[in-house]
A and B are shown apart, each in its own frame.
Chain A
Amino acid sequence: MTAISREEVAHLAHLARINIADDQLEHFAKQLDAILDAVAQVSQVDTADVPAMSHPIPMTNVFREDIPVASLAPGAALAGAPAVEDSRFRVPRILDEE
């Protein structure tokens, strides 16, 4: 009934920044469709006047004293980085060529 299309899967994959090969789109579309069919029963529940619950405990701001504590040394913070240059994370280019 939901019938999610190949194009929608491609769009979702783009939003999620995951490269999905063209020949995989159909496969994921079928699986997402089956899952959405199974979870679509939520629409049958009468929730008029029911508040939404995002979290199991009532959340309020949590404050602590503003006291400096030791943080990670730059070497430790960078130790797991895929690429490092001049004690900084080296990233792929972030601007288009034009």
Chain B
Amino acid sequence: MMKKVLAKCYLWLLLAMLYAPLLFIAVFSFTESKVLGSWTGFSTKLYQNLFTGGVSGGSALLAAVENTLLIALIAAAFSTVLGTVAAIGIHNLKGRKKQTVQFLNNIPMINPDIITGVSLFLLFVFLGVSQGYATVVLAHITFCTPYVVLSVLPKLSQMNPNIYEAALDLGATPAQALRKVLIPELRPGMISGFILAFTMSLDDFAVTFFTRGTVGLDTLSTYIYTDARKGGLTPELRPLMTIIFLLVLILLVVINIRQDRANKKVKR
């Protein structure tokens, strides 16, 4: 009993440490004060500013959020297609060839962001490509795709290879067999790959920083970086952080409940 109380205390202490800064930001998103930490009464003005693109740099902030989401969406979509096709190919490779491709696939995951960023920066310089939106998306696809490949591969090995052949024997064209048999089997892997790729892209800072060029393209990460270096932190960032925090929380709770239900179904 004593042990249990101690264990619980330890967990909650660590969690308190992990969440204190986030809660602090959330609390001070409900006051108008420009300076963080001074409470000037309850107000939702910062939230209004954020959504109406009001005064202090709100519109630049909104543009950065838009870029972040759009880049993540495009990169995740491309990665899912490229990664799924690649996984089907890798699954059918054998021996040395298979090992080599899997090794190459692991490199972007092992490399720290800064290496990925610098190496791609040098590539674009070397090829003489002017950097901007397209290079950022390409860079994101580069570090997102391996996660899709790794999410889809297990589904391929779990799958019964005979169903696909059976579909062909029963007169389905390869395209039909792909659409009606293979894709539905791989869908869970593709979805978790997509979600992983999407969040990886949302989280990225270093790779974007090195591949965005000088055209003034900002994602949320690079916006925060530039903003913090200037000294003053845009107050509208506080409600934005709070909203993102809540969205992630809700998303994870939903995923959790769905998984719980799925597990219970299996048990029955």
- Indicate whether A and B interact: no
